[in-house]
Amino acid sequence: MIASVLIGVAIFGYAIWHFVKFINKSKKGKCAACDLKNSCSSECAIPPKLK
């Protein structure tokens, strides 16, 4: 029984950790949170028509 509780806590803890990580990344915006932001060729900042 204790093993079941520990496994359940581990699963829910992992899910909550990923949910918080997702929320924090989504607050940064599309390109700021991207893993390829340093080597990406797309311009995410301001479209050319709005500059």
Which pLDDT tens digit goes with each residue over 1-51?
999 999 999 999 999 999 999 888 877 766 666 666 666 666 565 555 544
Residue type, 5: V
Residue type, 29: G
The pLDDT, as a whole number, for residue 32 is 62
Q: What pTM, to 2 d.p., does this model score?
A: 0.56
Are the C-beta atoms of 31 and 45 separated by less than 8 Å?
yes
Are the C-beta atoms of 14 and 5 separated by less than 8 Å?
no
The pLDDT, as a whole number, for residue 50 is 46
Distance CA 3, CA 17 (A): 21
